[in-house]
Chains A and B, each alone.
Chain A
Amino acid sequence: MIRVAAVGDIHVGRDSVGRVRCHLEHLPNRADLFLLAGDLTKRGLPEEADVLADELRGLPDQVPTFAVLGNHDFEAGCEEYVAKSLAGIGVRVLEGDSETIDVDGVSVGVAGAKGFGGGFAGACATEFGEPEMKGFVHHSMETAARLEKALHEIADADVRIALMHYAPVESTLRGERLEIYPFLGSYYLAEAVDRAGADLALHGHAHGGSEKGVTPGGVTVRNVAQPVLRKAYSVYCLERGGEIGCGAPTVGARA
Protein backbone atom coordinates (compact mmCIF):
# COMPACT_ATOMS: atom_id res chain seq x y z
CA MET A 1 0.00 0.00 0.00
CA ILE A 2 1.22 3.47 -0.91
CA ARG A 3 0.49 6.29 1.52
CA VAL A 4 0.21 9.68 -0.13
CA ALA A 5 0.21 12.81 2.03
CA ALA A 6 -1.09 15.90 0.29
CA VAL A 7 -2.05 19.49 0.89
CA GLY A 8 -2.37 22.67 -1.15
CA ASP A 9 -2.96 26.35 -0.58
CA ILE A 10 -0.75 26.80 2.45
CA HIS A 11 -0.04 30.41 1.35
CA VAL A 12 3.24 30.84 3.19
CA GLY A 13 4.20 34.45 3.87
CA ARG A 14 6.74 36.28 5.93
CA ASP A 15 4.36 35.82 8.86
CA SER A 16 4.50 32.01 8.50
CA VAL A 17 7.89 31.46 10.13
CA GLY A 18 7.67 28.41 12.38
CA ARG A 19 4.04 27.78 11.54
CA VAL A 20 4.36 25.12 8.84
CA ARG A 21 7.15 22.84 10.01
CA CYS A 22 5.54 22.23 13.40
CA HIS A 23 2.48 20.71 11.71
CA LEU A 24 4.49 18.30 9.54
CA GLU A 25 6.45 16.65 12.33
CA HIS A 26 4.87 13.19 11.99
CA LEU A 27 4.47 13.20 8.21
CA PRO A 28 7.58 11.11 7.40
CA ASN A 29 6.20 8.29 9.56
CA ARG A 30 2.73 8.48 8.06
CA ALA A 31 3.40 8.77 4.33
CA ASP A 32 5.59 7.40 1.54
CA LEU A 33 5.44 10.60 -0.45
CA PHE A 34 4.24 14.17 0.07
CA LEU A 35 2.48 16.18 -2.61
CA LEU A 36 2.00 19.96 -2.57
CA ALA A 37 -0.85 21.17 -4.78
CA GLY A 38 0.15 24.78 -5.42
CA ASP A 39 -0.42 28.19 -3.84
CA LEU A 40 2.49 27.44 -1.58
CA THR A 41 3.23 31.13 -1.08
CA LYS A 42 1.08 34.16 -0.38
CA ARG A 43 2.22 36.30 -3.36
CA GLY A 44 5.15 34.38 -4.84
CA LEU A 45 7.72 36.80 -3.45
CA PRO A 46 11.33 35.62 -3.10
CA GLU A 47 11.29 36.26 0.65
CA GLU A 48 8.14 34.14 0.94
CA ALA A 49 9.80 31.37 -1.07
CA ASP A 50 12.74 31.54 1.34
CA VAL A 51 10.40 31.11 4.33
CA LEU A 52 8.71 28.21 2.56
CA ALA A 53 12.04 26.52 1.89
CA ASP A 54 13.13 27.00 5.49
CA GLU A 55 9.87 25.52 6.75
CA LEU A 56 10.17 22.45 4.49
CA ARG A 57 13.95 22.04 4.73
CA GLY A 58 14.95 18.45 5.52
CA LEU A 59 11.51 17.00 4.83
CA PRO A 60 12.27 15.96 1.22
CA ASP A 61 15.27 14.03 2.58
CA GLN A 62 12.90 11.97 4.70
CA VAL A 63 9.96 11.59 2.33
CA PRO A 64 9.98 12.25 -1.45
CA THR A 65 8.20 15.56 -1.93
CA PHE A 66 6.59 16.83 -5.14
CA ALA A 67 4.96 20.15 -5.91
CA VAL A 68 3.18 22.13 -8.56
CA LEU A 69 2.86 25.90 -8.34
CA GLY A 70 -0.43 27.75 -8.09
CA ASN A 71 -1.71 31.16 -9.14
CA HIS A 72 -0.53 32.81 -5.90
CA ASP A 73 3.00 31.63 -6.67
CA PHE A 74 2.83 33.62 -9.93
CA GLU A 75 1.51 36.89 -8.47
CA ALA A 76 4.89 38.60 -8.04
CA GLY A 77 6.29 37.33 -11.33
CA CYS A 78 9.01 35.42 -9.46
CA GLU A 79 7.66 31.90 -10.01
CA GLU A 80 11.03 30.69 -11.24
CA TYR A 81 12.60 31.77 -7.96
CA VAL A 82 9.87 29.93 -6.04
CA ALA A 83 10.46 26.77 -8.07
CA LYS A 84 14.25 26.99 -7.74
CA SER A 85 14.00 27.63 -4.04
CA LEU A 86 11.91 24.48 -3.59
CA ALA A 87 14.18 22.48 -5.88
CA GLY A 88 17.12 23.65 -3.79
CA ILE A 89 15.84 21.76 -0.76
CA GLY A 90 14.98 18.66 -2.78
CA VAL A 91 11.34 19.26 -3.70
CA ARG A 92 10.59 18.00 -7.21
CA VAL A 93 8.63 20.82 -8.85
CA LEU A 94 6.52 19.58 -11.73
CA GLU A 95 5.10 21.53 -14.67
CA GLY A 96 4.31 19.24 -17.53
CA ASP A 97 6.76 16.64 -16.40
CA SER A 98 6.86 13.59 -14.20
CA GLU A 99 9.00 11.48 -11.97
CA THR A 100 8.78 7.90 -10.81
CA ILE A 101 10.07 6.72 -7.45
CA ASP A 102 10.37 3.30 -5.88
CA VAL A 103 8.51 2.67 -2.64
CA ASP A 104 9.43 -0.75 -1.28
CA GLY A 105 9.42 -2.30 -4.74
CA VAL A 106 6.35 -0.45 -5.96
CA SER A 107 6.89 2.16 -8.66
CA VAL A 108 4.95 5.35 -8.00
CA GLY A 109 4.72 7.93 -10.77
CA VAL A 110 3.71 11.52 -10.19
CA ALA A 111 2.81 13.77 -13.11
CA GLY A 112 2.15 17.43 -12.46
CA ALA A 113 0.99 20.65 -14.04
CA LYS A 114 -0.54 23.81 -12.63
CA GLY A 115 -3.64 23.66 -14.77
CA PHE A 116 -5.91 26.66 -15.29
CA GLY A 117 -9.51 27.79 -15.46
CA GLY A 118 -11.99 27.78 -18.30
CA GLY A 119 -14.93 25.94 -16.86
CA PHE A 120 -16.66 22.67 -17.36
CA ALA A 121 -18.62 21.02 -20.14
CA GLY A 122 -21.79 22.92 -20.88
CA ALA A 123 -20.60 26.12 -19.20
CA CYS A 124 -17.09 26.86 -20.30
CA ALA A 125 -15.08 29.44 -22.14
CA THR A 126 -14.09 28.79 -25.74
CA GLU A 127 -11.05 29.82 -27.74
CA PHE A 128 -12.95 32.41 -29.72
CA GLY A 129 -13.14 36.17 -30.09
CA GLU A 130 -10.73 38.62 -28.56
CA PRO A 131 -7.06 37.70 -28.21
CA GLU A 132 -7.42 37.95 -24.42
CA MET A 133 -10.15 35.29 -24.40
CA LYS A 134 -8.22 33.10 -26.81
CA GLY A 135 -5.16 33.45 -24.62
CA PHE A 136 -7.11 32.49 -21.51
CA VAL A 137 -8.51 29.33 -23.05
CA HIS A 138 -5.30 28.49 -24.89
CA HIS A 139 -3.36 28.52 -21.62
CA SER A 140 -5.89 26.10 -20.15
CA MET A 141 -5.56 23.76 -23.14
CA GLU A 142 -1.76 23.96 -23.07
CA THR A 143 -1.35 23.11 -19.42
CA ALA A 144 -3.81 20.21 -19.73
CA ALA A 145 -1.84 18.91 -22.71
CA ARG A 146 1.35 19.11 -20.63
CA LEU A 147 -0.34 17.12 -17.87
CA GLU A 148 -1.46 14.46 -20.34
CA LYS A 149 2.04 14.16 -21.79
CA ALA A 150 3.48 13.81 -18.31
CA LEU A 151 0.93 11.13 -17.40
CA HIS A 152 1.88 9.15 -20.49
CA GLU A 153 5.48 9.25 -19.28
CA ILE A 154 4.49 7.30 -16.14
CA ALA A 155 2.18 4.85 -17.92
CA ASP A 156 4.19 1.88 -16.71
CA ALA A 157 4.25 2.86 -13.04
CA ASP A 158 2.38 0.63 -10.60
CA VAL A 159 0.66 3.66 -9.07
CA ARG A 160 0.04 6.85 -11.04
CA ILE A 161 -0.87 10.18 -9.52
CA ALA A 162 -1.88 13.39 -11.31
CA LEU A 163 -1.02 16.54 -9.35
CA MET A 164 -2.40 19.95 -10.29
CA HIS A 165 -3.50 23.20 -8.69
CA TYR A 166 -6.70 23.94 -10.59
CA ALA A 167 -9.67 21.59 -10.37
CA PRO A 168 -10.30 18.99 -13.08
CA VAL A 169 -13.94 18.36 -12.11
CA GLU A 170 -16.97 20.15 -10.75
CA SER A 171 -17.67 17.60 -8.03
CA THR A 172 -14.86 18.90 -5.81
CA LEU A 173 -16.11 22.47 -6.26
CA ARG A 174 -19.41 21.85 -4.46
CA GLY A 175 -19.70 24.66 -1.94
CA GLU A 176 -18.21 27.28 -4.22
CA ARG A 177 -20.46 29.72 -6.07
CA LEU A 178 -21.41 28.35 -9.47
CA GLU A 179 -20.54 31.67 -11.08
CA ILE A 180 -16.83 31.28 -10.33
CA TYR A 181 -16.43 27.67 -11.50
CA PRO A 182 -14.73 28.81 -14.74
CA PHE A 183 -12.02 30.45 -12.62
CA LEU A 184 -11.51 27.36 -10.50
CA GLY A 185 -10.77 24.69 -13.06
CA SER A 186 -11.28 23.16 -16.43
CA TYR A 187 -12.65 19.96 -17.89
CA TYR A 188 -9.54 19.83 -20.09
CA LEU A 189 -7.66 18.60 -17.02
CA ALA A 190 -10.08 15.75 -16.35
CA GLU A 191 -10.02 14.81 -20.01
CA ALA A 192 -6.23 14.65 -19.87
CA VAL A 193 -6.34 12.47 -16.76
CA ASP A 194 -8.94 10.13 -18.24
CA ARG A 195 -7.17 9.82 -21.59
CA ALA A 196 -3.77 9.03 -20.11
CA GLY A 197 -5.03 7.21 -17.02
CA ALA A 198 -4.26 7.67 -13.34
CA ASP A 199 -5.10 6.13 -10.00
CA LEU A 200 -5.59 9.41 -8.16
CA ALA A 201 -5.88 13.07 -9.17
CA LEU A 202 -5.15 15.78 -6.61
CA HIS A 203 -5.78 19.51 -6.79
CA GLY A 204 -6.21 22.58 -4.62
CA HIS A 205 -7.36 26.15 -5.38
CA ALA A 206 -11.03 25.74 -4.43
CA HIS A 207 -11.02 26.78 -0.77
CA GLY A 208 -14.78 26.62 -0.49
CA GLY A 209 -15.19 23.35 -2.36
CA SER A 210 -15.46 19.71 -1.31
CA GLU A 211 -12.77 17.10 -0.81
CA LYS A 212 -14.12 14.17 -2.79
CA GLY A 213 -14.89 13.80 -6.47
CA VAL A 214 -14.36 11.65 -9.52
CA THR A 215 -13.62 12.27 -13.20
CA PRO A 216 -16.11 11.26 -15.90
CA GLY A 217 -13.73 8.37 -16.64
CA GLY A 218 -13.78 7.15 -13.04
CA VAL A 219 -10.51 8.45 -11.62
CA THR A 220 -10.69 9.38 -7.95
CA VAL A 221 -10.22 13.12 -7.36
CA ARG A 222 -9.39 14.82 -4.08
CA ASN A 223 -9.39 18.56 -3.43
CA VAL A 224 -6.58 19.00 -0.91
CA ALA A 225 -6.86 22.76 -0.43
CA GLN A 226 -6.05 23.19 3.25
CA PRO A 227 -9.24 25.15 4.03
CA VAL A 228 -11.19 22.15 2.70
CA LEU A 229 -9.17 19.54 4.59
CA ARG A 230 -9.15 21.56 7.83
CA LYS A 231 -5.98 19.78 8.87
CA ALA A 232 -2.29 20.08 8.07
CA TYR A 233 -2.53 17.47 5.29
CA SER A 234 -4.48 14.39 4.28
CA VAL A 235 -3.14 10.89 3.79
CA TYR A 236 -4.57 8.67 1.05
CA CYS A 237 -3.73 4.96 0.87
CA LEU A 238 -3.60 3.39 -2.56
CA GLU A 239 -3.32 -0.26 -3.47
CA ARG A 240 -0.82 -1.27 -6.11
CA GLY A 241 -3.00 -1.87 -9.15
CA GLY A 242 -5.09 -4.34 -7.14
CA GLU A 243 -2.18 -6.76 -6.75
CA ILE A 244 -1.37 -6.32 -3.10
CA GLY A 245 -2.97 -5.28 0.14
CA CYS A 246 -6.63 -5.29 0.97
CA GLY A 247 -9.53 -3.83 -0.93
CA ALA A 248 -10.43 -3.67 -4.58
CA PRO A 249 -8.15 -2.63 -7.44
CA THR A 250 -7.55 1.03 -7.82
CA VAL A 251 -10.03 3.11 -9.69
CA GLY A 252 -8.75 4.51 -12.94
CA ALA A 253 -8.85 4.55 -16.68
CA ARG A 254 -5.87 2.24 -17.10
CA ALA A 255 -6.23 0.20 -20.25
Chain B
Amino acid sequence: MTLEQNSPADYLVGHLEEALARDPRVSEQGLHVAIAAGKVFVTGTVSTSERLDAVAEVVGELLPDYELHNEATTTEYPEMSDEEHLS
Protein backbone atom coordinates (compact mmCIF):
# COMPACT_ATOMS: atom_id res chain seq x y z
CA MET B 1 0.00 0.00 0.00
CA THR B 2 1.29 3.43 -0.87
CA LEU B 3 0.24 6.80 0.47
CA GLU B 4 -1.37 9.38 -1.81
CA GLN B 5 1.84 10.85 -3.18
CA ASN B 6 0.34 14.27 -3.84
CA SER B 7 -1.15 14.77 -0.37
CA PRO B 8 0.07 17.80 1.58
CA ALA B 9 3.38 17.02 3.28
CA ASP B 10 1.90 17.47 6.76
CA TYR B 11 -0.45 14.53 6.21
CA LEU B 12 2.27 12.37 4.72
CA VAL B 13 4.50 13.09 7.74
CA GLY B 14 1.72 12.06 10.09
CA HIS B 15 0.97 8.84 8.22
CA LEU B 16 4.65 7.93 7.92
CA GLU B 17 5.31 8.44 11.64
CA GLU B 18 2.26 6.33 12.40
CA ALA B 19 3.51 3.60 10.07
CA LEU B 20 7.00 3.60 11.57
CA ALA B 21 5.48 3.11 15.03
CA ARG B 22 2.99 0.42 14.00
CA ASP B 23 4.93 -1.58 11.41
CA PRO B 24 6.37 -4.58 13.30
CA ARG B 25 9.61 -4.30 11.34
CA VAL B 26 10.34 -0.93 13.01
CA SER B 27 7.99 -0.36 16.00
CA GLU B 28 9.60 2.91 16.94
CA GLN B 29 7.68 5.95 18.16
CA GLY B 30 10.74 8.15 18.48
CA LEU B 31 11.40 8.65 14.78
CA HIS B 32 10.78 12.04 13.24
CA VAL B 33 9.86 12.56 9.62
CA ALA B 34 10.22 15.71 7.57
CA ILE B 35 9.29 16.10 3.91
CA ALA B 36 10.66 18.79 1.62
CA ALA B 37 11.20 19.10 -2.12
CA GLY B 38 10.34 15.49 -2.87
CA LYS B 39 12.64 14.15 -0.19
CA VAL B 40 11.82 12.31 3.04
CA PHE B 41 14.13 12.89 5.98
CA VAL B 42 13.97 10.48 8.92
CA THR B 43 15.80 11.24 12.18
CA GLY B 44 15.85 9.64 15.61
CA THR B 45 17.10 6.31 16.87
CA VAL B 46 16.36 2.62 16.47
CA SER B 47 17.96 -0.22 18.40
CA THR B 48 19.55 -2.23 15.61
CA SER B 49 20.92 -1.89 12.09
CA GLU B 50 18.18 -4.27 10.88
CA ARG B 51 15.54 -1.80 12.08
CA LEU B 52 17.44 1.01 10.37
CA ASP B 53 17.11 -0.93 7.11
CA ALA B 54 13.45 -1.54 7.89
CA VAL B 55 12.87 2.22 8.13
CA ALA B 56 13.98 2.48 4.51
CA GLU B 57 11.73 -0.43 3.52
CA VAL B 58 8.63 1.06 5.13
CA VAL B 59 9.18 4.55 3.74
CA GLY B 60 10.01 3.11 0.31
CA GLU B 61 6.80 1.09 0.26
CA LEU B 62 4.61 4.01 1.30
CA LEU B 63 6.27 6.80 -0.68
CA PRO B 64 8.13 5.10 -3.55
CA ASP B 65 8.47 8.29 -5.57
CA TYR B 66 10.25 10.19 -2.82
CA GLU B 67 13.99 10.21 -2.20
CA LEU B 68 14.75 8.93 1.31
CA HIS B 69 17.42 10.48 3.51
CA ASN B 70 17.57 7.99 6.36
CA GLU B 71 19.44 9.94 9.04
CA ALA B 72 18.27 7.80 11.96
CA THR B 73 20.99 6.10 13.99
CA THR B 74 21.24 2.95 16.06
CA THR B 75 21.58 2.73 19.85
CA GLU B 76 24.16 -0.03 19.99
CA TYR B 77 26.18 1.84 22.60
CA PRO B 78 29.18 0.43 24.52
CA GLU B 79 29.79 0.27 28.25
CA MET B 80 31.47 3.36 29.68
CA SER B 81 33.48 3.51 32.89
CA ASP B 82 32.22 6.90 34.06
CA GLU B 83 29.83 7.34 36.96
CA GLU B 84 27.92 10.26 38.43
CA HIS B 85 28.15 11.04 42.14
CA LEU B 86 24.87 12.44 43.41
CA SER B 87 24.93 14.65 46.44
Contact = CB atoms under 8 A, between A and B. Distances in A.
**Residue among B24, B45, B50 with the highest chain A CB neighbour number at 10 A:** B45
A25 B27 contact: no
Contacts of A190: none
Nearest to A206: B30
A53 B24 CA distance: 20
Interface residues on B, range: 20 to 34
Given A23-B79, A43-B24, A231-B80, A12 B47 contact: yes
B85 A27 contact: no
Contact of A234 (B45, B48, B84): B84
Given A75-B27, A220-B86, A229 B77 contact: yes
Contact of A251 (B27, B76, B84, B86): B86
A242 to B, nearest CB: 9
B8 interface: no
Interface residues of A, number: 42
B60 interface: no
Interface string A242-255: 00000111110000
Contacts of A239: 86-87
A13 B81 contact: no
Interface in B56-78: 75-78
A131 to B, nearest CB: 24
A24 B48 CA distance: 17
Contact of A237 (B50, B78, B86): B86
Contact of A207 (B27, B45, B78, B79): B45
Nearest to B31: A207
A15 B79 contact: no
Given A26-B79, A232-B77, A16 B87 contact: no
A96 to B, nearest CB: 24
B84 A236 contact: yes
A226 interface: yes
Given A231-B78, A232-B77, A15 B51 contact: yes
B85 A237 contact: yes
